[in-house]
Structure formats: structure tokens, C-alpha cells
Copies of this chain bind each other. A is one copy, B any other.
Amino acid sequence: MAKLYFRYGAVGSAKTLNLLAVAHQYERQGKRVLVLKPAFDTRFSAVEVVSRAGLHRSADRVLADGEVPPSHIAADADCVLVDEAQFLTEPQVEALRDWTRALGVPVICYGLRADFRSRLFEGSLRLLELADSIEEIKTTCAWCNRKATQNLKYVDGRASIDGPSRQLGAEERYQAVCYRHYREQLDAARDAGEKSADGLGASVAPGGARV
């Protein structure tokens, strides 16, 4: 049985660059990789896996939302790499988990841990339940030099926890921050009167990030 990995990191932590580096290493050794990507993320391109630092390659397969990929597409692979794995559905994660057992192929998933409300994504949650190895890809807080653990969303220059969680993507609207600055930015936005009935003002409890 091979291993299922979940390598998580905040926005801008070079997850995709790490994926591309691993693909590059395998291929330089004459091995084959299969690069997957959920269809949702069309941030930069529907079929490209693109790092902010400039490297990119084509995804071998873009997974449609309801699609459970058949195992035969991984039959020849020495390693399966998944970009934006937070957008995987439960059945997709379970299929990948099964590949490691049935095919003996390692599967390495790169993705965000939680959304801007500090809530796990569907794919992240199932990966945290099933992965053999949970590894962090680090980056620093946009406001200080501590490690970033949260993703802060900005709307019109103000921190916000409104809106759907699956809009994630555009670089100018999200920042990797530490928990202190996550709380401070959201508290400041609330104090500034940025309130909405179903959003920030009503729902942030003093002691937590619950919505």
C-alpha cells in the first residue's frame, strides 16, 4: 500500500510550485506522474496548473465536480499529484485513498486547509480524516513575521467573512495571516461598521471565528 499525503498551506504558500517541483523530480528520473485538478478552480486557467512564481504545466485530467475518476487513468503512474485539493468532493478523496491501496501508487494532494471563515473545505476535511501523512507548507503572515495559518478575505479593502467559501482564488482578495492578525483584522472591520445581516456583524463571537 502506498501513502496518501495532504500537504496544506495558506494562500500564497507555494503549494503549486511544490507540486510542480515534485513532478519535475519524478520525470527527471524517468518516472511518470499523473497531475489532477478539480474543475472548480479556474483561477488562472481551466487546464493549466500554474504557480504564482511563474512555473506551470497542463493538468493531465480536470475532474468535473461530480466525477469520480476511474482508477485505470493512474495505472501507469509512479505518483499522482492533485492541485487545489480542497475542492475535491468526498467521493473523489475516497477514490484517491483507494488507489493507494489497489494500485500501490502514492497520491500527494496540495490544498488549503480552511476557508476565510476558518472552516475546512469538503476536500480538506476528508483528506484530514484519511491521509497517512499531513504536512504543512509554510508561509509568513502578511502583517508580521509569524507563520500564517488563516486565510483572510478582503472586500473593498476591508476584512470580511461574508460570501460563499468557494470563490477562493484571486490573489488580490486573500491574504495569508496568523491567527492574531486574522482576529484583529476581522474585529477592526466589524468595529468600522462593516456589518451585514447574515454575515460578519451578526456572527463573529468574541472568543472564536464561528459564523
Q: Chain A interface (Cβ within 8 Å of chain B)?
A: 1-2, 4, 12-14, 17-18, 20-22, 24-26, 28-29, 31, 51-55, 68, 78-79, 90-91, 93-95, 97-98, 100-101, 106, 113-114, 118-120, 125, 128-132, 134, 136, 139-140, 142, 145-147, 149, 178-180, 183, 205-210
Query: Which B residues are in CB contact (< 8 Å) with A134?
Result: 134, 136
Task: Please tell me if the beta carbons of B146 and A1 are within 8 angstroms of each other in the complex.
Answer: yes
Q: Min CB distance, A28 to chain B, in Å?
A: 7
Contact of A28 among B52, B79, B91, B114 (CB under 8 A): B52
Q: Tell me the bound Cα distance from A207 to B132 in angstroms.
A: 16
Query: Which B residues are in CB contact (< 8 Å) with A95?
Result: 207-208
Task: Please tell me if the beta carbons of A139 and B53 are within 8 angstroms of each other in the complex.
Answer: no
Given contacts A14-B21, A179-B97, contact A210 B1 (CB under 8 A): no
Which residue of chain B is the closest to A130 with respect to CB atoms?
B118
Query: Which B residues are in CB contact (< 8 Å) with A142?
Result: 29
Contact of A14 among B24, B31, B178 (CB under 8 A): B24
Task: Please tell me if the beta carbons of B129 and A119 are within 8 angstroms of each other in the complex.
Answer: yes
Copies in the complex: 4
Query: Which B residues are in CB contact (< 8 Å) with A208?
Result: 90-91, 93-95, 97-98
Task: Please tell me if the beta carbons of A25 and B140 are within 8 angstroms of each other in the complex.
Answer: yes
The listed residue with most B CB atoms (<10 A of its CB), out of A2, A53, A208, is: A208
Task: Please tell me if the beta carbons of B24 and A210 are within 8 angstroms of each other in the complex.
Answer: no
The listed residue with most B CB atoms (<10 A of its CB), out of A13, A24, A53, A93, is: A53
Query: Which B residues are in CB contact (< 8 Å) with A18?
Result: 14, 18, 21
Q: Min CB distance, A65 to chain B, in Å?
A: 17
Q: Min CB distance, A150 to chain B, in Å?
A: 8
Task: Please tell me if the beta carbons of B145 and A78 are within 8 angstroms of each other in the complex.
Answer: yes
Query: Which B residues are in CB contact (< 8 Å) with A98?
Result: 206-208
Q: Min CB distance, A63 to chain B, in Å?
A: 14
Task: Please tell me if the beta carbons of B68 and A207 are within 8 angstroms of each other in the complex.
Answer: yes
